[in-house]
């Protein structure tokens, strides 16, 4: 879409980012790639990352994503339309970042199943390693999970607490949902080679924080599919629901032989989104597991739905913690 057709908010945002980038480069900042975990098959991978302006010493390190408090991640300067060289073995591909500096590109590869490494580089920065999970053609089960109030307690229905968690606290101050890491570990033990995808409406700015939280609390490593806050080409605010729905459809198309366990909570829109997806793609859903919020959270979120309210071929299970969900999935032969 041409610049003349951009929403006014997007044009203002672009002008502000351009001013910040020019100022940052005058102050000696250099472009570097922040790699995010990717996923794919033996013939293609989805490369994920973000290009930011950072201090020279950070641009030359092999691990540019450092531990910072949440608010600092939102002061970073993205490099708009940055050119990024992706190296896979002896093959190279050049991809381009979007208006927010986000790299989200699918490239052809020839890789073995399991964890593999590719490298990303922009301008004169040091190449950084991105881990990608290559799904074997024989895999038939996978996990797609929300993050906020599903694996990590953030009290998202309470806007002020959610803002505090996002902009002030770091990952050490966040609390895991009891039993969810054990649930995921059990699922992967029973389904060898299954991919895990964390699908959230959170901003890419907090991806390093979320990754560290998941690792610290023994959640399995998986790709993070987040979104970019701010105006889009045609609207002031991005739609988190559309982001989730679009990625669910994409995953169904990319892995037509996989049935997904969809994990979410009853405090936002997960039930509606998962319900719609189950109706559109019943062949792609093994079950839906919904973590129930505490009574106080449920009141602030507007109540919770009941399992019998959903019409779906796939079973729906509800519990306030991972142990309860695991028990119900075991009863249905899914864990």
| Pairwise pLDDT comparison (142 vs 59), residue with the higher score | 142
pLDDT at 73: 56
CATH number of the domain at 3-134, out of 1.20.120, 2.30.29, 2.70.70, 2.60.40? 2.60.40
Tokens found for residue 16: 């502000």
Inform me whether the pLDDT recorded for 268 exceeds 80: no
Inform me whether the pLDDT recorded for 35 exceeds 80: yes
Q: Where are the beta strands (DSSP E) in the chain?
A: 30-40, 44-54, 77-78, 83-88, 91-96, 102-108, 114-121, 128-134, 141-145, 152-153, 175-176, 196-203, 223-227, 259-265, 285-291, 316-319
pLDDT at 204: 87
| Pairwise pLDDT comparison (230 vs 56), residue with the higher score | 56
pLDDT at 63: 62
Q: What is the mean pLDDT of residues 148-174?
A: 66
Per-residue pLDDT band for 170 (boundaries 50, 70, 90) equals low
Percent of the chain with pLDDT over 90: 59
pLDDT at 32: 92
Helices (H), the chain: 8-26, 56-59, 70-73, 159-167, 180-190, 207-216, 240-254, 270-280, 295-301, 322-331
pLDDT at 94: 98
With contact defined as beta carbons under 8 Å apart, do 115 and 122 qualify?
no
Q: Cα(34)–Cα(36) distance, rounded to whole angstroms? A: 7
Inform me whether the pLDDT recorded for 252 exceeds 60: yes
* pLDDT tens digits, one per residue of 188-197: 999 999 999 9
pLDDT at 62: 59
Inform me whether the pLDDT recorded for 238 exceeds 70: no
| Pairwise pLDDT comparison (11 vs 161), residue with the higher score | 11
* pLDDT tens digits, one per residue of 81-137: 999 999 999 999 999 999 889 999 999 999 999 999 999 999 988 999 999 999 999
* pLDDT tens digits, one per residue of 55-79: 876 656 656 655 445 555 566 789 9
* pLDDT tens digits, one per residue of 117-129: 999 999 988 999 9
141-331 falls under which CATH superfamily?
HAD superfamily/HAD-like (3.40.50.1000)
Q: How many CA atoms lie within 13 A of 37 on its CB side?
A: 22
Tell me the CA distances in angstroms from 244 to 70, 225, 273, one per residue in order.
Answer: 23, 9, 8
Inform me whether the pLDDT recorded for 159 exceeds 80: no
Percent of the chain with pLDDT over 70: 76
Tokens found for residue 256: 């037509």
Inform me whether the pLDDT recorded for 200 exceeds 60: yes
Helix (DSSP H) and strand (DSSP E) numbers for the chain: 10, 16
Q: Tell me phi and psi for residue 142, to 5 degrees.
A: -150, 170
Q: What is the mean pLDDT of residues 176-194?
A: 97
Domain boundaries, the chain: 3-134, 141-331
Report the chain's mean pLDDT, rounded to a whole number.
84
pLDDT at 239: 67
């Amino acid at each position: 879409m041409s610049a003349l057709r951009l929403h006014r908010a997007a044009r203002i945002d672009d002008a502000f980012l351009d001013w910040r980038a020019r100022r940052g480069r005058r102050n000696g900042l250099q472009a570097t790639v922040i790699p995010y975990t990717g996923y794919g098959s033996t013939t293609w991978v989805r490369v994920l990352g973000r290009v930011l302006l950072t201090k020279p010493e950070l641009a030359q390190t092999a691990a540019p994503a450092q531990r910072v408090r949440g608010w600092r991640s939102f002061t970073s300067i993205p490099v708009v339309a940055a050119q990024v060289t992706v190296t896979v073995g002896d093959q190279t591909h050049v991809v381009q970042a979007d208006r927010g500096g986000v790299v989200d590109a699918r490239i052809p590869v020839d890789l073995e199943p399991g964890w593999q490494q590719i490298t990303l580089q922009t301008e004169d920065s040091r190449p950084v390693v991105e881990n990608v999970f290559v799904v074997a053609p024989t895999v038939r089960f996978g996990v797609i999970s929300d993050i906020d109030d599903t694996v990590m307690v953030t009290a998202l229905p309470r806007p002020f607490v959610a803002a505090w968690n996002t902009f002030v606290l770091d990952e050490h101050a966040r609390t895991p949902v009891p039993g969810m890491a054990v649930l995921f570990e059990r699922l992967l033990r029973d389904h060898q080679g299954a991919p895990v995808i964390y699908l959230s409406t959170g901003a890419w700015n907090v991806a390093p924080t979320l990754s560290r939280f998941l690792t610290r609390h023994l959640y399995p490593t998986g790709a993070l599919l987040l979104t970019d806050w701010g105006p889009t080409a045609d609207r002031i605010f991005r739609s988190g629901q559309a982001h989730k729905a679009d990625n669910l459809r994409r995953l169904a198309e990319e892995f037509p032989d996989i049935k997904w366990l969809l994990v979410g909570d009853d405090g936002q829109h997960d039930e509606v989104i998962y319900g719609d997806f189950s109706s559109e793609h019943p062949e792609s859903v093994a079950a839906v597991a919904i973590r129930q919020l505490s009574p106080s959270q449920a009141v602030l979120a507007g109540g919770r739905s009941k399992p019998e309210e959903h019409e779906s071929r796939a079973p729906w299970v509800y519990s306030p913690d991972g142990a309860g969900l695991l028990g119900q999935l075991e009863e249905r032969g899914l864990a």
